[in-house]
Amino acid sequence: MKKVEEYNEESIVVLKGLQAVRTKPAMYIGNLDTGRFHILKEALDNGIDEALAGFSKKLYCNISADGYFTVADEGRGIPVGIHPDYKEEKKSTLEVIMTQLHAGGKIKEGAYAGGSVGTHGVGISCTNALSSYLQVWTYRDKTWWTQTYKCGVPQGPVEKGKPELSWKQGTIIKFKPDETILPEQLDPKVLANWFRNSSFLNPGIELTLNYKGKEKTYNSKGLADYIQWKTKDLNCEPLYKPFIIKTENCDVALQWFETEDSDLASWCNTSPTIEGGTHYKGLLNVINKGFDNLVKKKSYKPEDLRTGLYGAINFRIASPQFDSQTKEKLINPEAEKLVMDQIQKDFDKYLNSNKTFVKKIIDRANEIRSIYEKFAKEKKALSKLKSRGKVNLPPASKFISCSTKDVELRELFCTEGDSAAGTARQARDSKFQEIVKLRGKIMNVAKSGLLKAYESEDILNVLKAIGFDPSSKEHQLRVGKIVILTDADDDGMHISVLLLTLFQKIYPEIIEQGRVYIVDAPLFIGRSRTTEFYGESLEDVQQQANSKGQKILSVTRAKGWGEINPDLLRRFAFDPKTRQLKQITKVDTKGLSYFYKMVGDDTEVRKQILTEI
């Protein structure tokens, strides 16, 4: 162990000014991987605060190709006169704000009494400290003033100077993040998301983002637009009109949909509170109390009521308290009661205006809890592998196991009917290939939902064979490959689509990991005296034979796998050396949305999709 040096007065290091931020940046802005966005957001938040205070209707941001960030608002501008605490140094208030921690107009109520994102006067000075270059312009007393900094150190006094932008008033800040401290690049998707959400939270304000020459302006009518945007790709109907309210401290929008998914977001003074907090807890209390008052007997839990719920709360308070400088959780104790006092009465009226809607939500919540309890008996068997590598598998009448204990080597074939399963049993390699039998078309989980799906014997058998646990986030996958082996007719293709829908909806990870395949077998087998020819049509088989100068003596159409020779099925589906499998790959968001739309009620389109695979 290295000997510790002498500990004395000289061992104590004092970091002055913004040195602390540059020395320990993570203490002030959190994760440095997202540091560029954080210091940009500090400048953007100041512009939003001017809008919240009623002094600005525009916020502009430019990200140039050469790495400079520019933020401009049309607010009151930063004061430039000598600060009372720095009379002897004759230091401008602008310089104090830009170079001193805990210096700002949001520390005490007054300049931003209506609620602001900033609280500690730390933000913009951190931006300055972590920028290799920063220049600020502020419009005060009908004059533009400016000052330039490098790594937070002023390069001259505050002086008159017009900005690069053609801007009438407000504050403009142009800076370049210090690459030695913040090497990670800005994520444009994160930035665009901030602008979009800020438009929902600040209706009537024009927010413009110019990212490397591509400019877009965001504006909205409020949180009702947020719900519409969030649910536009759900492909499901709302159960009732949205609940929209704006009070002294709260903006709230809630709406229930016919879906198992949900999303309830929260902000405080337009800053996202990812971990929620006391205002979020208050909103949950409002929802729970509203429904509980209308039901005599319940079996549901509070979270069951929020199935299908999409919405948001933006809470405003003059002196917000967060658990950290990154402002991810609000901790003001009074926020919970404020939300309940200001919303509960109106939410109760909303529920009482449609008893049919309320009954549907309560019935669904009770059903959800009933299904969870019913499936609790399956949890242990589905989520844990026993010491010998065995699990509680489907019954022997529906499942044919293999001998290997190697999960990655094991293959599961989903077959259609007893006949196909019987042929597959003879064709497979019993060392590593398993078979799960389906009675026919399984339930369409895109239409019926997951709750009904867990009541289906066929679906449970497939899930058990895979190793999926519906009641847990942790799954013990017990197969390396899942192979769909259905007949090459309309019904077979339909079953394949339904299986893919099941996997995508319930266990998308296996598709993302490339574990799902479909047997790509030929439809026709033509035989000459010495050779077999395979093709998708009779013409294809005939052309192959002609090219070899041979004559086709017999043709078999491989329509049903239970009707062909096991040796042939082995070559087509089970023998890794001769079979042809098509891997099902992950699709993008647009493609997934299209998929869910097509697996809805239009069966003809569903068949067409699989035909094109």
Based on the domain organization, do 359 and 399 belong to the same domain? no
Is position 548 within any domain?
Answer: no
| Torsion of the alpha carbons at 158, 164, 170 and 173, rounded to the nearest 10 | -70
Lowest model confidence (mean pLDDT) among 97-106, 512-521, 599-608: 599-608
Pairing type for strands 263-268 and 271-272 reads antiparallel
Burial of 474 (0-12, 13-18, 19+ CB in 10 A): exposed
Same domain, 399 and 496: yes
SS3 534: strand
Give the pLDDT score at 243. 97
pLDDT tens sequence across 51-81 = 888 899 999 999 999 999 999 999 999 999 9
Answer whether residue 119 shows pLDDT above 50.
Answer: no
Name the band, by pLDDT with cuts 50, 70 and 90, for residue 391: very low
**158 and 227 share a domain?**
no
Residue 329, Cβ neighbours under 10 Å: how many?
18
- Percent of the chain whose predicted confidence (pLDDT) is above 90: 45
Which of the four pLDDT bands, split at 50, 70 and 90, describes residue 120?
very low
33 catalytic? Reply is no
pLDDT digits (tens, 9 = 90+) for 435-478: 999 888 888 877 776 667 777 888 888 988 998 866 556 667 88
Provide the pLDDT for residue 344: 97
Q: Is residue 527 part of a domain?
A: no
Structure confidence at residue 335 (pLDDT): 95
| Domain extent at residue 583 | 384-521+558-611
Residue 112 has pLDDT above 50, yes or no: no
Residues 509 and 403 occupy one common structural domain: yes
Query: Would you state the pLDDT for residue 605?
Result: 53
What are residue 359's phi and psi, to 5 degrees?
Answer: -60, -40
Task: Using the 3D structure, point to which of 184, 218, 252 is the last residue of a domain.
Answer: 218
Q: Which of 73, 411, 416, 469 is catalytic?
A: 416
Residues 229 and 213 in one domain: no
List the CATH number of the domain containing 590: 3.40.50.670
Do 498 and 566 sit in the same domain of this protein?
yes
Decide which of 218, 248, 274 is a domain's last residue.
218
Mean pLDDT on 597-613? 54
Residue pointed to by tokens 């003596």: 553
Cα–Cα separations (whole angstroms), residue 124 to 35, 71, 98, 215, 422: 13, 12, 6, 25, 71
Mean pLDDT of all residues in 511-535: 85
**Residues 208 and 227 occupy one common structural domain:** no
Question: Average pLDDT for residues 471-491, to the nearest whole number?
Answer: 80
CA distances to 9, 102, 272, 545, 598 from 268, rounded to whole Å, are: 44, 20, 7, 74, 39
**Residues 303 and 191 occupy one common structural domain:** no
Angle of helix 603-611 relative to helix 589-598, nearest 10 degrees, comes to 130
Domain boundary among 218, 244, 265: 218
- Which of 306-310, 503-507, 520-524, 557-561 comes out lowest in average pLDDT? 557-561
- pLDDT band at residue 226 under the 50/70/90 scheme: very high
Catalytic residue among 429, 491, 563, 575: 491
Mean pLDDT of 152-169: 93
Domain count within the chain: 3
5 found inside a domain: no
Q: Is residue 37 part of a domain?
A: yes
Please tell me the distance from the alpha carbon of residue 309 to that of residue 263, in angstroms, as a whole number.
6
User: Is residue 418 within 8 Å of 387, Cβ to Cβ?
Assistant: no
Look up residue 592 and give its two tokens: 């997934």
pLDDT at 312 (0 to 100): 96
Q: What is the pLDDT of residues 394-418, one digit of tens each?
A: 888 899 999 999 999 999 999 988 8
For tokens 């013409």, name the residue.
539
Q: What percent of the chain has pLDDT over 70?
A: 84
Concerning whether 489 is annotated as a catalytic residue, the answer is yes
pLDDT value at 595 more than 90: no
Q: Rounded to a whole number, what is the distance in angstroms from the first to the last CA of the chain?
A: 64
Reported as a pLDDT band with limits 50, 70 and 90, residue 383 is very low
Is it the case that residue 309 has pLDDT exceeding 90?
yes
Over residues 361-379, the pLDDT tens digits come to: 999 998 888 777 766 654 4
pLDDT at 216: 95
Q: What is the pLDDT of residues 6-30, one digit of tens each?
A: 655 565 555 566 887 888 888 888 7
CATH of the domain at 212: 3.30.565.10
**Closest by alpha carbon to 520, among 496, 502, 552?**
496
Helix (H, G, I), strand (E, B) or coil at 362: helix
Q: Report the chain's mean pLDDT, rounded to a whole number.
A: 84
In a 10 Å sphere around its CB, with 0-12 CB exposed, 13-18 middle and 19+ buried, how is residue 588 labelled? exposed
Q: Does 416 participate in catalysis according to the annotation?
A: yes
Q: Which candidate in 89, 187, 363, 489 is catalytic?
A: 489
Query: Is residue 10 in some structural domain?
Result: no
pLDDT of residue 12: 53
pLDDT at 114: 47
What's the chain's length in residues?
613
Is there a single domain that holds both residue 358 and residue 389? no
Is residue 433 scored above 50 in pLDDT?
A: yes
Which pLDDT value is given to residue 31? 82
- Looking at the predicted structure, is the pLDDT value of residue 426 above 70? yes
> Position of tokens 């590598």?
389
Asked whether the predicted pLDDT for residue 319 surpasses 50, the reply is: yes
- The predicted pLDDT at position 559 comes to 65
Residue 162 clears pLDDT 70, i.e. is over it: yes
**Confidence at residue 390, expressed as pLDDT on a 0 to 100 scale:** 41
Position 351 confidence tier, pLDDT thresholds 50, 70, 90: very high
Q: How far is Cα 256 from Cα 166, in angstroms, rounded to an integer?
A: 46
Same domain, 501 and 578: yes
Give the pairing of strands 581-583 and 516-519: antiparallel
Show Cβ contacts of residue 543 under 8 Å, excluding neighbours closer than 6 positions.
Answer: 535
Domain check: are 187 and 229 in the same one?
Answer: no
Taking residues 183-192, what's their average pLDDT? 90
Out of 231-235, 301-305, 587-591, the most confident range is 301-305
HEC string for 13-80: CCCCCCHHHHHCCHHHHCCHHHHHHHHHHHHHHHHHHHHHCCCCCEEEEEECCCCCEEEEECCCCCCC
CA torsion 355-356-357-358 (nearest 10°) is 50
Residue with more model confidence, 223 or 455: 223
Tell me which DSSP letter residue 471 carries: T
DSSP 238: B
Is the domain of 202 the same as that of 228?
Answer: no
Q: What DSSP element (H or E) covers 172? A: strand 171-177
pLDDT of residue 296: 79
pLDDT per residue as tens digits for the range 572-594 = 889 999 888 889 887 655 555 55
Catalytic status, residue 491:
yes
Residue 76: what pLDDT?
93
The order of strands in the sheet holding 243-246 is: 243-246, 250-256, 309-315, 263-268, 271-272
Residue 388 reports pLDDT greater than 50: no
Residue 559: which of 404, 408, 420 has the closest Cα? 420
pTM confidence score: 0.59
Q: Which CATH number does the domain housing residue 235 bear? A: 3.30.230.10
The model's confidence at residue 382, banded by pLDDT at 50, 70 and 90, is very low
